[in-house]
């Protein structure tokens, strides 16, 4: 829809934001004489309610920014230096086809590692022509586990990823539990609804090591130690089962495995769980009693609780609560987890079988690049992702990217920290320049993303570039050459019929159960017997410790502080990190700052055996003592020594789902002499090995 407004050729175009955020906003973009002059929220998607975040409002700064990649280019200086010399697209595709073919011939297809995550979370920009190409090449397969793997595994095993309660239904809740989520930053459209519910009398409980904005407004805040959610949830289960609050008839009719859960919960008295979680037992009892006695009660389960060694069991125990307590079957009850599976999309448009090649866990990229031999990774193809700053064990990752015998391709919109290591960079379009299909994963929505301006420079959409590469390598198969539009049509053709038709007609699709399903009224578990599995055998087998079995902190006395790195306000993961921002600071509680003699605003070293970050410090009681905070997604230029929180994150994996353990980072913090810093920061930035 476009509304001509004046002789200046100004029009407002409706599109959608596909960035990796639960809200899935509809946006109205003002285009004046072919340039984006404003980006605002629209009301096309009812969840957006006419407003959007500050990050996407200023997306035009990225679109036309100085860091934008405009032409394909090859590296001319040392790896990591980022010096490039432009080449044409034909030459770039030829070079890439040659390198891929060469690696395949000499080392086998598995020497090629495609590396992507949710850069644009849309259906068109990932797992279309890219997946087809890499499958036909017999490349290594990537386990996309950097986020949502433990929560996803738990939601799948317990509920078959049943669609979950959407934002507007928070208005109906009498108790809201925000568990390991910080929507004030990570999904802002939920916040006013929670505030409205609270104003109308709802109780609010926040489980978070930090005093988040919602924690300030909460009836109860449980500032637990990171990684202890499992025992907190098990103490609630024990209370429900043993004090007569479990919903016996719901358990009998709709679940199996309750005995297994009950048995594993039985040892977690309030006292024991509170001790492990570092909180007062009274607080835990109050929470348990509140949850047992209030209905409708709704849990917003976030991703903060999954990023540690207990993450999978923790997510399973939290998601099991509404089943045991009988909180389903009423509007404003149940839980909210990712709704990305609400649409039952199978991606059979990829049109090539997945080969039985080796699978590489993306959380172990550093090891894959430095330790694998059979075959070694010879071509790394990065797109929709910025692993130099977003995956664990940054030093090892950078060491891998420095390998002279590795050919790295980075296909991105801007000159990222990963692109600085590329042998070949390819310029990608943004969501303002290409088509996509965007899915919200908080509210349920599926929206068409359409180009509102011409591509900057020679930037091209993913679907087109992977299609061209397939053609150059004679891998098109029966489909023939495919560009962006062919891919869009193919995806719409193979979506469930009503959805594709609605999208083609320019409408807004709705699943059969509507956009605001009530759990156990409109939607049921998508498990085989439509029951909740409270003790899934598969999870019990997968977890070395056993399902719902707590793995204590390693508690290394050398590194007494727990570093967590949640979503920040300025970026989405690392996307938009190229833009100017206030200098980030490590947040530390005064009781931890004083014995270390740290001065507000001064430079500190945050370190452990894996690495070190030099940055400013902010001393504030907004985090529990013993825990420190540095946001995720920082770029190397945002810290004094060119390393970010991922340099301190171990590449250990979660109990279930093989996810990342970012919040198992254990560190020490020390002040640094201002005079010494210049020198060490400069040397380290130039030479990350030192």
CB atoms within 10 A of CB 94: 14
Q: How far is the CB of 480 from ligand MGD (least distance, A)?
A: 23
Q: How far is the CB of 343 from ligand MGD (least distance, A)?
A: 19
Q: Which listed option, ligand MGD, Mo ion, none, makes contact with residue 351 (CB within 5 to 8 Å by class)? A: none
Report the C-alpha gap between 289 and 567 in whole angstroms. 31
Closest residue by beta carbon to ligand MGD: 304
User: What binding mask, one character per residue, do residues 101-140 give for Mo ion by CB under 5 A, x or -?
Assistant: ----------------------------------------
Q: How far is the CB of 406 from Mo ion (least distance, A)?
A: 26
Q: How far is the CB of 321 from ligand MGD (least distance, A)?
A: 13
Q: How far is the CB of 459 from ligand MGD (least distance, A)?
A: 9
Q: How far is the CB of 594 from ligand MGD (least distance, A)?
A: 22
Angle at 605 between CA 602 and CA 606, to 5 degrees: 120
Query: In Å, what is the CA distance from 295 to each residue of 167, 290, 325?
Result: 17, 10, 10
Q: Which listed option, ligand MGD, Mo ion, none, makes contact with residue 524 (CB within 5 to 8 Å by class)? A: none
Residue from 21, 147, 615, 628 in contact with Mo ion (CB under 5 A): 147
Place of tokens 């095993």: 157
Q: Which listed option, ligand MGD, Mo ion, none, makes contact with residue 291 (CB within 5 to 8 Å by class)? A: none
Contact 295, 327 (CB under 8 A): yes
Omega of the bond leading into 375 within 30 degrees of 0 (cis):
yes
Place of tokens 């996309």: 144
Which run of H or E residues covers position 199?
helix 191-199
Q: Which residues bind ligand MGD (CB under 6 A)?
A: 20-21, 117-120, 125, 146-147, 179-182, 185-187, 207-210, 212, 224, 226-227, 229, 302-305, 307-308, 383-387, 390, 411-414, 416, 428, 462, 564-569, 571-575, 632-633, 645-646, 649, 662-663
Q: Which listed option, ligand MGD, Mo ion, none, makes contact with residue 52 (CB within 5 to 8 Å by class)? A: none
Q: Which listed option, ligand MGD, Mo ion, none, makes contact with residue 645 (CB within 5 to 8 Å by class)? A: ligand MGD
Q: Is 288 in the site for Mo ion (CB under 5 A)?
A: no
Q: How far is the CB of 265 from ligand MGD (least distance, A)?
A: 18
Contacts of 240-247 with C-beta under 8 Å, sequence gap 24+, read: 240/288, 240/292, 240/321, 240/324, 240/325, 241/265, 241/266, 241/324, 242/266, 243/292, 245/292, 245/293, 245/325, 246/324, 246/325, 246/326, 247/324, 247/325, 247/326
Q: Which listed option, Mo ion, ligand MGD, none, makes contact with residue 182 (CB within 5 to 8 Å by class)? A: ligand MGD
Residue number, 296 or 566, with CB nearest to Mo ion:
566
Omega of the bond leading into 296 within 30 degrees of 0 (cis):
yes
CA 117, 118, 120, 123 torsion-angle sign: positive
Closest residue by beta carbon to Mo ion: 147
- DSSP letter (8 states) at residue 362: G
Which run of H or E residues covers position 564?
strand 561-564
Report the C-alpha gap between 640 and 389 in whole angstroms. 15
Q: How far is the CB of 521 from ligand MGD (least distance, A)?
A: 26
Q: Which listed option, Mo ion, ligand MGD, none, makes contact with residue 443 (CB within 5 to 8 Å by class)? A: none
Residue of 675, 674, 669 lying closest to 645 (CA atoms)? 669
Judged by CB under 5 A, the number of residues near Mo ion is 1
Q: Which listed option, Mo ion, ligand MGD, none, makes contact with residue 384 (CB within 5 to 8 Å by class)? A: ligand MGD
Written as six digits, the tokens of 130 are 């890219």
Residue number, 292 or 419, with CB nearest to ligand MGD:
419
Residue of 298, 255, 297 lying closest to 524 (CA atoms)? 255
Report the C-alpha gap between 401 and 103 in whole angstroms. 17
Stretch that binds Mo ion, among 143-151, 350-358, 454-462, 599-607 (CB under 5 A): 143-151
Residue number, 307 or 531, with CB nearest to ligand MGD:
307
Report the C-alpha gap between 419 and 150 in whole angstroms. 29
Residue number, 255 or 447, with CB nearest to ligand MGD:
447
Q: How far is the CB of 118 from Mo ion (least distance, A)?
A: 7
Q: Is 149 in the site for Mo ion (CB under 5 A)?
A: no
Q: Which listed option, ligand MGD, Mo ion, none, makes contact with residue 435 (CB within 5 to 8 Å by class)? A: none
Could you tell me if residue 285 is left (phi over 0), alpha (psi between -120 and 50 degrees) or otherwise beta?
alpha
Q: Which listed option, ligand MGD, Mo ion, none, makes contact with residue 427 (CB within 5 to 8 Å by class)? A: none
Report the DSSP pairing between strands 255-256 and 532-533. Answer: parallel
Query: In Å, what is the CA distance from 206 to each residue of 23, 249, 630?
Result: 20, 29, 20
- DSSP letter (8 states) at residue 172: G
Stretch that binds Mo ion, among 145-153, 577-585, 633-641, 673-681 (CB under 5 A): 145-153
Residue number, 255 or 313, with CB nearest to ligand MGD:
313
Residue of 673, 665, 677 lying closest to 641 (CA atoms)? 677
Report the DSSP pairing between strands 612-619 and 585-588. Answer: parallel
Q: How far is the CB of 13 from ligand MGD (least distance, A)?
A: 18
Report the DSSP pairing between strands 10-16 and 26-32. Answer: antiparallel
Q: How far is the CB of 1 from Mo ion (least distance, A)?
A: 32
User: Where do contacts with Mo ion occur on this chain (CB under 5 A)?
Assistant: 147
């Amino acid at each position: 829809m476009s509304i001509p407004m004046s002789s200046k050729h100004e029009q407002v175009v409706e599109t959608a934001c596909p960035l990796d955020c639960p809200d899935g906003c509809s946006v109205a973009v003002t285009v004046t004489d072919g340039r984006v002059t404003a980006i605002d929220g629209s009301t096309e998607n009812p969840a957006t309610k006419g407003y959007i975040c500050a990050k996407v409002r200023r997306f035009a700064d990225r679109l036309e920014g100085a860091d934008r990649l405009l032409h394909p280019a090859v590296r001319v200086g040392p790896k990591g230096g980022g010096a490039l010399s432009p080449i044409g697209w034909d030459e770039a595709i030829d070079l890439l086809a040659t390198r891929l073919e060469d690696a395949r011939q000499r080392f086998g297809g598995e020497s090629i590692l495609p590396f992507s995550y949710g850069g644009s979370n849309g259906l068109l920009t990932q797992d279309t022509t890219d997946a087809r190409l890499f499958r036909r090449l017999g490349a290594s397969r990537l386990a996309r586990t950097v986020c949502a793997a433990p929560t996803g595994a738990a939601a799948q095993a317990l509920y078959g990823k049943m669609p979950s309660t959407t934002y507007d239904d928070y208005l109906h809740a009498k108790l809201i539990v925000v568990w390991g989520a910080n929507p004030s930053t990570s999904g802002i459209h939920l916040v006013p609804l929670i505030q409205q519910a609270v104003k109308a009398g709802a109780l609010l409980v926040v489980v978070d090591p930090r005093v988040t904005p919602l924690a300030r407004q909460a009836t109860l805040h449980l500032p637990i130690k990171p990684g202890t959610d499992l025992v907190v949830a098990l103490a609630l289960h024990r209370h429900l089962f043993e004090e007569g609050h479990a919903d016996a008839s719901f358990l009998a009719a709709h679940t199996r495995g309750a005995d297994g859960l009950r048995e594993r919960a039985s040892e977690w008295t309030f006292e024991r769980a509170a001790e492990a979680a570092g909180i007062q037992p009274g607080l835990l009892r109050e929470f348990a009693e509140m949850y047992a006695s209030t209905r409708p009660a709704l849990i917003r389960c976030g991703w903060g609780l999954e990023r540690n060694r207990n993450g999978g069991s923790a997510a399973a125990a939290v998601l099991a609560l509404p089943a045991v307590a009988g909180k389903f079957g009423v509007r404003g009850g149940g839980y909210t987890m990712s709704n990305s599976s609400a649409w039952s999309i199978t991606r059979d448009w990829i049109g090539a079988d997945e080969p039985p090649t080796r699978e590489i866990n993306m959380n172990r990229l550093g090891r894959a690049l430095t330790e694998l031999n059979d075959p070694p990774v010879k071509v790394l193809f990065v797109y929709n992702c910025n692993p130099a700053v977003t995956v664990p064990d940054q030093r090892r990752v950078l060491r891998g990217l420095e390998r002279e015998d590795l050919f790295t391709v980075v296909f991105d919109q801007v000159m990222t920290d990963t692109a600085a290591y590329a042998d070949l960079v390819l310029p990608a379009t943004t969501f303002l320049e290409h088509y996509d299909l965007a899915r919200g994963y908080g509210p349920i929505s599926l929206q068409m993303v359409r180009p509102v301006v011409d591509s900057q420079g020679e930037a091209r959409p993913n679907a087109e570039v992977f299609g061209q590469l397939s053609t150059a390598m004679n891998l098109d198969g029966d489909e023939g050459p495919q560009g962006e539009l062919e891919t869009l049509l193919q995806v719409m053709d193979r979506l469930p019929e009503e959805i594709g038709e609605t999208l083609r007609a320019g409408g807004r699709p709705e699943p059969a159960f509507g956009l605001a399903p009530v759990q156990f009224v409109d939607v049921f578990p998508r498990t085989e017997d439509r029951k909740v599995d409270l003790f899934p055998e598969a999870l019990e087998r997968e977890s070395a410790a056993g399902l719902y079995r707590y793995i204590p902190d390693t508690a290394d006395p050398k590194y007494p502080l727990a570093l967590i790195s949640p979503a920040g306000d300025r970026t989405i993961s690392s996307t938009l990190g190229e833009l100017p921002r206030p200098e980030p600071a490590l947040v530390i509680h005064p009781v931890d700052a004083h014995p270390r003699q740290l001065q507000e605003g001064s430079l500190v070293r945050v370190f452990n055996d894996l690495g070190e970050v030099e940055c400013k410090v902010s001393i504030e009681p907004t985090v529990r003592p013993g825990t420190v905070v540095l946001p995720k997604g920082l770029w190397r230029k945002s810290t004094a020594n060119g390393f970010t929180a991922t340099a301190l994150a171990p590449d250990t994996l979660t109990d279930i789902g093989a996810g990342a353990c970012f919040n198992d980072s254990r560190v020490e913090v020390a002040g640094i002499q201002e005079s010494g810093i210049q020198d060490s920061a400069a040397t380290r930035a130039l030479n990350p090995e030192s």
